Amino acid sequence: MIRLTPDILIEAYAAGIFPMAESADDPELFWVDPNRRGIIPLDAFHIPRRLKRVLRRGSFAVRADTAFASVIRGCAEAGETRPSTWINDEIVRLYTALFERGAAHSVECWQEGELVGGLYGVSLGAAFFGESMFSRVSDASKVALVHLVARLRRGGYRLLDTQFLTPHLAQFGAIEISRARYHLLLAEALRYRAVFPRDLPGGLGEDGAGGGGGAPGGALHSSRLTS
């Protein structure tokens, strides 16, 4: 079996496919190219009313790219509501290597110095591929998603790929599109170069989703961005 490398992984994302494992205990990976693809249109991102109240309370300190290894390990954790995950050691190795070369990013929620939730994904051109999220405190991963979208809009991204559509993501404006449509949007996004901003000068803005690129005011399975 050919050992995957970060370069192969980047080529796969550019071709519209991504790797998964059957479980965290299974060392093998397989490629996925869904017939129907989940995306969140960045200009149609919706923040539920209750979550807006959470954001206004400022319950979390939100940072980016300060604890990538801890975030991916958090996403790999099993729990009462998630007895198993798909993130194995090979996934951790590959995506950590992508982070070290600036091709993967994390958004983290902190409380009293403790990491309580977050998400991570891959950045290529002006496309961001959401991989997984986790929460140890209610709403932490949702707040991380809002902050992710704010950064994507600020940084000039054109595509947020959630891989699959779930009811959880639909509340934020996620939709499902055909594989053919997805590949067209991906090809367009790869023509541009976006920059992932670690910080958000001026905060989220009035609508909570940040500004940039002319827009107003930003998955997965098991523990992917759908949970």
Residue 117 is assigned to a structural domain of this protein: yes
* Residue position matching structure tokens 């993967």: 104
Alpha helices of 42-178 — where are they, by DSSP H?
Answer: 49-57, 68-76, 89-100, 140-155, 167-170
Tens-place pLDDT, residues 65-87 = 999 999 999 999 876 555 567 79
Evaluate if residue 142 carries a pLDDT over 60.
yes
What pLDDT does residue 70 have?
97
Tens-place pLDDT, residues 105-131 = 999 999 999 999 999 999 999 999 999
Residue 67 is assigned to a structural domain of this protein: yes
* Residue position matching structure tokens 């992508």: 98
What pLDDT does residue 214 have?
32
Q: What is the mean pLDDT of residues 96-110?
A: 98
Half-sphere exposure of 97 (CA within 13 A, CB side): 13
Global pTM value: 0.89
CA dist 105 and 3 (Å) reads 23
Residue 216 is assigned to a structural domain of this protein: no
Residue 209 is assigned to a structural domain of this protein: no
What pLDDT does residue 24 have?
73
CATH number at residue 123: 3.40.630.70
What pLDDT does residue 21 have?
86
Residue 214 is assigned to a structural domain of this protein: no
Range of the structural domain that residue 166 is part of: 6-189
Residue 200 is assigned to a structural domain of this protein: no
Residue 90 is assigned to a structural domain of this protein: yes
Number of structural domains in the chain = 1
CA dist 29 and 52 (Å) reads 38
Band of residue 162 on the pLDDT scale cut at 50, 70, 90:
very high
